[in-house]
Amino acid sequence: MQAFRILIYLKPMQTKIFQFTVIVILIITYGCSNNNRSYQISDIDPELEKAEILVCLNNETKAAFARDYELWTEHWIHRDNISKTYINYVDSSFSESIGWSEISGFVHQFIEEHPTPEPTPKLLEYIHVQLYDSGAWVSYKQIDSLRGLKRETRLMEKENGKWKIAGMHTSIYGFDSIK
């Protein structure tokens, strides 16, 4: 109530300045106190997060090449807004799957049609990681014994304390691109 009494005694221009000042103070106070993040960027160990992401990526790759669908699903976010794309420059093919239902259906069908495990590529050791709050942008290259050079980008999210894949793009360049 006291704020309204103050407004009564102020001139119109002073009232606008007072209202503006109060709004700015409220915005600053709310912005500084409202923190919905599960952790602060400064509180994380980037090398530990990178190591955990590396484990997720390698385990997902091992599961996919071993044709273990159930284990493979554990490494992915299950939402409608995730995506998975492949571009194969060797045979000019591509595929795009949007949403968990489409991605998991594509992989499930692929495993049913190709049940024989493939040789697992050399597991990743070196990845570039950019952390963003509870997410990460990851890129790397990998040599696949059946497809040759692949460059991949993964969007990772931390779900219940575990890194999972929320997006994947793979470009396949073949064996002629290996140097």
What integer pLDDT is reported at residue 35 of this predicted model?
Answer: 47
Centroid of chain to Cα 81: 11
Helix (H) or strand (E) holding 60: helix 46-65
CA distances for 144 relative to 91, 147, 168, angstroms: 16, 5, 16
**CATH class of residue range 45-174:** alpha beta
| pLDDT, average across residues 135-147 | 91
Stated pTM of the model: 0.74
Question: What is the residue extent of each domain of the chain?
Answer: 2-33, 45-174
Confidence of residue 37 (pLDDT cuts 50, 70, 90): very low
Handedness of CA 71, 76, 79, 84 (dihedral sign): negative
- CA angle 156–159–165, rounded 5-degree value: 30
Confidence of residue 145 (pLDDT cuts 50, 70, 90): confident
CB 46 within 8 A of CB 54: no
Residues 66-106: tens digit of each pLDDT: 999 999 999 999 999 999 999 999 999 999 999 999 999 99
Confidence of residue 168 (pLDDT cuts 50, 70, 90): very high
CB 67 within 8 A of CB 117: yes
| pLDDT, average across residues 42-68 | 93
Q: Which of 163, 167, 166 is nearest to 77 (CA)?
A: 166
